């Protein structure tokens, strides 16, 4: 006998399963793949019998906890940013990766860290924001992304071209600055290996502000899904909506790239997973997309430490291996 659930109950069950996957990945990431033979009981001891002299507890608190929190928040940011981009453009292939927002942030941040004259001396957050803005604007201008009728193929081609340009500039910078090339190359692959509490404190305030801004766009994006003319007739200022969405996307992406480098394809995968779980309302999709992105990055980080221990595979490589076939599937599905 087949058991059917009301739509709302299905959404609640799916969200519960997603939260369970995220929490289990978060807890496992705190104690696995460590040279100190950590156990889940060590986490319980921190909560019930904290001992500042216990080296295992200090490893979890000082190294593992900030890394896992940062992985989850960066995944949440990128998942939310991808949903905002897809909602604004009504393009299922839109994401910070494809629209060169991530590569733009990475390029200018890299140039800034290598003290190139034109961009040196900027705070890393400002450099990433400028790069994200530049990359996104180039793609939208070349691809006609802000026109009333979007051309998905033109946007994709523009994204590929701008991504190629920005990646080439970044590689040229690496060749010129040979002495710091290795550490920068590791960061450009999307890495969480150097995360500490300082990085966390740099990440969460701006992320929170950007997410609150994103929440304020949900009603407008719901109406925008019906078409810009319909949204305008229902009282939505479409231009102001675009500005708020773009600002939220730039903030979410740039701060995430500043902390961990470009972790690709999370913003593409998470919104599609959220729609499959919870329908179409952006009030629900936004947190579920964020949770999907958080679970993806958290488990990718866990996998990155498990492939060739004790060495780490950059998280961005793991997400690229997952995201590339997913992107191909979406393109083929769109043409079928």
Express each pLDDT in 88-121 by its tens digit. Answer: 888 888 899 888 899 999 888 888 877 654 555 6
What's the pTM?
0.92
Residue 66, preceding peptide bond in cis (omega within 30° of 0)? no
The answer on pLDDT for 245 being more than 50 is yes
Q: What is the fold, at CATH topology level, of the domain defined by 62-335? A: ABC transporter involved in vitamin B12 uptake, BtuC (1.10.3470)
| pLDDT one-digit tens code per residue, 70-97 | 999 999 999 999 999 999 888 888 899 8
- Computed over every residue of the chain, the mean pLDDT equals 87
pLDDT score at 145: 58
HSE value, Cβ hemisphere, 13 Å, CA-based, for 185: 13
């Amino acid at each position: 006998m087949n058991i059917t659930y009301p739509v709302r109950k299905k959404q609640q069950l799916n969200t519960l399963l997603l939260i369970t996957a995220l929490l289990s990945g978060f807890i496992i990431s705190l104690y696995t793949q460590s040279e100190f033979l950590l156990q889940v009981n060590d986490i319980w001891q921190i909560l019930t019998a904290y001992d500042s002299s216990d080296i295992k507890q200090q490893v979890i608190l000082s190294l593992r906890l900030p890394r896992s929190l940062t992985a989850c928040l960066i995944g949440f940011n990128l998942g939310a940013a991808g949903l905002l981009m897809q909602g604004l453009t009504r393009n299922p292939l839109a994401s910070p990766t494809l629209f060169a927002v991530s590569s733009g942030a990475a390029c200018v941040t890299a140039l800034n860290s290598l003290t190139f004259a034109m961009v040196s001396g900027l705070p890393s957050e400002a450099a990433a924001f400028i790069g994200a803005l530049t990359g996104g604007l180039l793609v939208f201008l070349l691809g006609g992304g802000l026109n009333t009728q979007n051309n998905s193929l033109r946007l994709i081609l523009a994204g590929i071209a701008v991504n190629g340009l920005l990646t080439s500039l970044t590689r040229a910078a690496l060749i010129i600055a040979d002495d710091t090339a290795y550490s920068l190359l590791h960061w450009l692959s999307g890495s969480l290996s150097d995360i500490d509490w300082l990085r966390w404190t740099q990440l969460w305030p701006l992320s929170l502000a950007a997410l609150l801004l994103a929440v304020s766009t949900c009603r407008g994006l719901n109406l925008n899904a019906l078409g810009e003319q319909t949204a305008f007739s229902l009282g939505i200022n479409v231009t102001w909506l675009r500005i708020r969405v773009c600002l939220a996307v730039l903030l979410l992406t740039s701060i995430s790239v500043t902390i961990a480098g470009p972790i690709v394809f999370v913003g593409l995968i998470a919104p599609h997973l959220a729609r499959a779980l919870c329908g179409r309302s952006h009030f629900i999709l936004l947190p579920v997309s964020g949770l999907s992105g958080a679970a993806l990055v958290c488990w990718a980080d866990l996998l990155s430490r498990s492939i060739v221990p004790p060495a780490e595979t950059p998280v961005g490589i793991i997400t690229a291996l997952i995201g590339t076939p997913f992107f191909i599937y979406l393109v083929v599905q769109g043409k079928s």
